[in-house]
Amino acid sequence: MIDPILFLAFLPAALALNLTPGADMLFCFAQGARSGPRAAIAASAGISVGLMIHVAMAGLGLGALVAAFPWLFGAIRWLGAAYLLWLAWKTWHSPLTGDGGKVLSSSRAFRDGLIVNLSNPKVILFILALVPQFIDPARPVLLQFLACGAVMALGGFVVNALVGIFSGRVGRAILQSPRAERGLRTATTGIFAALAARIGWEALSP
């Protein structure tokens, strides 16, 4: 199904990608700090599922469609930024403790992670740039894409979940103080807003 030499060469590249701080890692950190370790793990799972969907699309050649139509690429990117801003607004106006505070359920965190990943078209373009270097065209291309994607998704799930678990434990511990709660909520809001601003800046950059 896949050339073992090419696959072994892909592993360190995938590991380096997983360990590089990025939007997915920050998102899981923020979800963990806001709603605890379970939400962080669920958000990480959603991101990994989103990555596998991107990989399948790339393997089927749909990534070329996104690359061929810049307006579609831009529209998806702005939708992702808008969703992150909505998350920032919800976090800012929802106390993490007391009667008004509701932590995210695992299903909601999973959904948010999935949407954030799928609304980032740069993921599929990155996959199209990286994965083909480790593909043998003489073998089934889609299966090779899926195998490489599974490695990235699994590694990303473990790393992002661990980051979220750490932030979740710290976050839950400091929520005993109203001042700490406000600070945590402000920091989480800032992370979501910063991610949205980053997407917007990249969309406006030539």
pLDDT tens for 88-103 read 888 787 765 543 445 6
Per-residue pLDDT, 194 = 82
**Residue 187 domain-assigned (yes or no):** yes
**Residue 1 domain-assigned (yes or no):** no
**Residue 30 domain-assigned (yes or no):** no
**Residue 23 domain-assigned (yes or no):** no
Phi, psi at 119, each rounded to 5°: -85, 5
What total number of domains does the chain contain?
1
Tokens of 114: 């999935």
The residues of the chain scoring below 70 in pLDDT are: 1, 62-67, 70, 72-73, 76, 95-103, 171-177, 181, 202-203, 206
Instruction: Look at the block and give the residue holding tokens 């969907």.
Output: 53
**Residue 4 domain-assigned (yes or no):** no
Per-residue pLDDT, 127 = 82
CA angle 31, 165, 167 (to 5 degrees): 65
**Residue 31 domain-assigned (yes or no):** no
C-alpha 202: how far from chain center: 17
Tokens of 188: 């989480």
Domain extent at residue 112: 36-204
Rg (CA), the chain: 18
Q: Distance (Å, rounded) from C-alpha 93 to C-alpha 70?
A: 35
CB-based contacts of 139: which residues, under 8 Å, 6+ apart?
1, 2, 3
Amino acid at 153: A
Tell me whether residue 180 is exposed, middle or buried, using C-beta atoms within 10 angstroms of its C-beta: 0 to 12, 13 to 18, 19 or more: middle
Phi, psi at 36, each rounded to 5°: 100, 175
pTM above 0.85?
no
Q: Please count the CA atoms within 13 angstroms of the CA of 92 that sit on its side-chain side.
A: 11
